[in-house]
Structure 1
Amino acid sequence: MLHILGRREDGYHELQTLFQFLDYGDELTFAVREDGVIRLHTEFDGVPHDSNLIVRAAKKLQEQSGCALGIDIWIDKILPMGGGIGGGSSNAATTLLGLNHLWQLGWDPDRLAALGLTLGADVPVFVRGHAAFAEGVGEKLTPVEPDEPWYVVLVPQVSVSTAEIFSDPLLTRNSPPIKVRPVPKGNSRNDCLPVVARRYADVPN
């Protein structure tokens, strides 16, 4: 579920959402370099090397930690790009966690999550690696133990831009906040879905 409560002055949105993890995802491979160079060897159409969230995460951690080491990165991309299931955010978090270990930085999860938040609102939950009810822009996390059913993921041949959806004037921005924990059944609505379905005919509402 994803409920949008309002828009903040900084352009981000106050929301309430439930993050559940899938036992399925992209696979990243890392090899430490001694020369400080950060290189993602897997190319993505339409995504420049330095704009990839994986590279941005690695460079930001290198900059903030002062580490002189570099990294070679490869990715076996399994999750659909622009699919709205957290592939990019989880890859950024995996990069932060992996490099923290390989570079022997010793950062704790709180520090990594705070750095992850500067990359994207969904990154902190993937740093922590546990299902959570999220508030704020997605960074205020309360661990939860939701049911773990099987899911079928249908992938229409479209890539949805999160920025475009959240800037759409028709997006619902006044959902009443949920005050009951855990999230009561019947609150599984995604406020983004009507806008996505209107923009992309292949996505059912």
Structure 2
Amino acid sequence: MIYTWPSPAKINRFLYITGIRPDGYHYIQTLFQFLDYSDTLKIIPNQKGTIKLFTKKKSLINIKNTIIIAANLLKKKALLYKKTNSYNLGATIFLNKKIPIGSGLGGGSSNAATVLIVLNKLWNTQFTLKELALFGLEIGADVPFFVMGNTAIGEGIGEILYPIKKKEKWYLLVYPDIKILTKDVFSSPCLTKRKSKQSIKQLLKLNFTNDLEYIVTKKFTKIKKLILKLSKYAPSRITGTGSCIFSEFQNKQSAKKAFLLLPKNTKKIIVKGTNISPLHSLIYKRKNISY
């Protein structure tokens, strides 16, 4: 039995704001790209009914942690839909945190999705992926993407997904050690929106950009300087609302050259893009993009 599971990172290869809902959420169009770079979760089920989280970063162990929220949510749904005697469902979860918090790489949403998928299997609650994605939306707008497991165009608030298959490129990730809260970016008075949505065909023809980058770089000059430096070697921008910058390369060798040109104390890593979530590749043995 496998007990340790990947909880992969993502980047937003582009992100455009197309409107705002009455509740304050923004409508977007984005290209979610999975990365072969992950947190890992060791998940051991039990019949004691208790859910416990352990990690080296003690500050992460709290009721707002998406891992705890996701496990309790699945228990609640299992009881509601009479899937099993959910009162006895429990798990001990060990988190090995590699994805920086506030980086825009989706660590919290990914953790929640991994818990939903894995505990659905280990608890034998037998929900479909689409049902799990719907539950995940109660936790965060990006969670459905991680649940469904395909590189995809995201619309709505990010929950409407159109799976696509793109060439799997290489990325140099640079983390400036700055934590940015999503709510702070979306509440900025500097935030503007595009006039209208575009078709997927049109989106894929555009030069990819991030509408939120202006807000982030205006506040954090360190990020702006890093983007300018990295842009000398490859297309570079922030991902999501976070501080992490990614530079896109056709091959690993080109990424290594840029990697070596950065100062040694820079937090950086070279990773590969992947069309299928590493978790889906492991748990479902998936090699295609069909749901």
- Shorter-chain TM-score bucket reads over 0.9
Would you identify which runs of 4 or more consecutive aligned residues in structure 1 move more than 3 Å?
43-48
Query: 1: CA distance between counterparts of 2:101 and 2:164?
Result: 27
Tell me what 2:161 maps to: 141
Query: TM-score by structure 1 length?
Result: 0.94
Q: Contact 2:54–2:61 (CA<8 Å) still a contact in 1?
A: no
The equivalent residue for 2:103 is: 83
Paired positions, count? 205
Q: Which amino acid aligns with 1:30?
A: I
Distance (whole Å) between structure 2 residues aligned to residue 120 and residue 187 of structure 1: 28
| Corresponding letter in the other structure for 1:88 | G
Distance 1:55 1:182 in 2: 40
1:111/1:35 Cα in 2 relative to 1: closer, same or farther (>3 Å)?
same
Contact 1:82 1:161 in 2 (8 A): yes
Q: Distance in 1 between matches of 2:146 and 2:203?
A: 20
Alignment deviations for residues 49-103 of structure 1 (CA, whole Å, 9 cap, x no partner)? 1110111111111111121211111111111111101111111100100100010
Q: Please, which runs of 5 or more residues in structure 2 have no aligned partner?
A: 1-13, 80-85, 228-291
1:88-167 matches, cutoff 5 A: 88-167=108-187
CA distance in 1, matches of 2:96, 2:60: 16
* Structure 2 residue 185 is the aligned partner of structure 1 residue 172: no
Instruction: Note the C-alpha offset of 1:47.
Output: 4.1
User: Percent identity among equivalent residues?
Assistant: 40
Structure with greater proportional strand content: 2
Instruction: Find the aligned partners of 1:185 and 1:151 in 2 and give their Cα distance.
Output: 20
Structure 2 counterparts to residues 21-60 of structure 1, below 5 A? 21-42=34-55, 44=57, 46-60=59-73
Structure 1, unmatched stretches of 5+, are none
**Superimposed CA distance per residue, residues 6-63 of structure 1 (whole angstroms, 9 cap, x where no aligned partner):** 1100111111000111011111110112211111111546545111011111111111
* CA distance in 1: counterparts of 2:195 and 2:38, whole angstroms: 31
Q: Whole-Å Cα distance in 1 between the matches of residues 213 and 136 of structure 2?
A: 26
Q: 1:63 to 1:188 in 2, by over 3 A?
A: same
Which residue of structure 1 aligns with residue 77 of structure 2? Answer: 64
Match of 1:12 among 3, 13, 25: 25
Q: CA deviation at 1:171?
A: 1.2
Secondary structure, aligned partner of 1:25:
strand
The structure with more radius of gyration: 2
TM-score (norm 2): 0.67
CA deviations over 1:124-178 (Å, ceiling 9, x no partner): 0100110001110111111101121100000001111011111111112235322
Letter in 1 for 2:185: I
Cα distance in 1 for residues equivalent to 2:41 and 2:61: 18
Secondary structure of 2:136's partner?
Answer: helix
Find the aligned partners of 2:66 and 2:204 in 1 and give their Cα distance.
Answer: 34
Q: Is the 8 A contact 1:3 1:175 kept in 2?
A: no
Task: Provide the C-alpha distance between the structure 1 equivalents of 2:67 and 2:33, rounded to a whole number of angstroms.
Answer: 21
Structure 1 range deviating more: 57-66 or 184-193? 184-193
